[in-house]
Structure 1
Amino acid sequence: MAQVTVRYWAAAKAAAGVAEESFDADTLADALDAVRTRHPGELTQVLRRCSFLIDGDPVGTRGHDTVRLAPGGTVEVLPPFAGG
């Protein structure tokens, strides 16, 4: 499995209690499963509303099991933002 860094922003960061952490994961789905296992409370709820960047590139809202992660890659967890 690839070692990847998951970075949390805004509400995801608050729910995780950390800005980033490492996981072993081959796909985005694997990484999100690991996040949910480590943080079974509020972060699991926040993830339902999030979008994701993989190494800076946006991914869709479906098919996370087909999004491959590179060793040393980064998953950005982005809750919806408001403002103006």
Structure 2
Amino acid sequence: MATGTVRYWAAAKAAAGVAEEPFDAPTLGALLTRISSNPDLAQVLRRCSFLVNGAPVGTRDPHSIDLPEGAVVEVLPPFAGG
């Protein structure tokens, strides 16, 4: 089980009510399951992209993405403009 930081941006930050928070989860999928308990955030997460330590997750299954100790997970909703 890894511990790290999840950072929320834009609409995800508004829905989460915080800019960042610590996590304890073995995979990105497990982390998303936990933070999806907030219904407002769950709705935003469906449209988000994710970075783990700066690397894009893309279309891979979040449950296949192992989180290393000290990972930083960025939650990025779609942004308007360039």
The bucket for the TM-score relative to the shorter chain is over 0.9
Equivalent residue of 2:36, what SS?
A: helix
Considering only aligned residues, what root-mean-square deviation do their CA atoms show, in Å? 1.0
**Equivalent residue number for residue 2 of structure 2:** 2
Alignment gaps of 5+ in structure 2: none
* Partner Cα distance (2:47, 2:16) in 1: 15
Structure 1 residue 62, shift from structure 2 partner: 3.5
Equivalent residue of 1:34, what SS?
A: helix
Matches within 5 A, 1:42-53: 42-53=40-51
Tell me how many residue pairs correspond in the alignment: 82
* Partner Cα distance (2:35, 2:59) in 1: 17
1:57 correspondence with 2:51:
no
Equivalent residue of 1:23, what SS?
A: strand
Structure 1 residue 61, shift from structure 2 partner: 2.7
Structure 1 residue 4, shift from structure 2 partner: 1.7
Equivalent residue of 2:51, what SS?
A: strand
Q: List, as ranges, runs of 4+ consecutive aligned residues in structure 1 with deviation greater than 3 Å.
A: none
Q: TM-score, normalised by structure 1?
A: 0.92
**Equivalent residue number for residue 70 of structure 2:** 72
Residues 13-59 of structure 1, C-alpha deviations (whole Å, 9 max, x = no match): 0000000011111110011111112x2x2110000000000000001
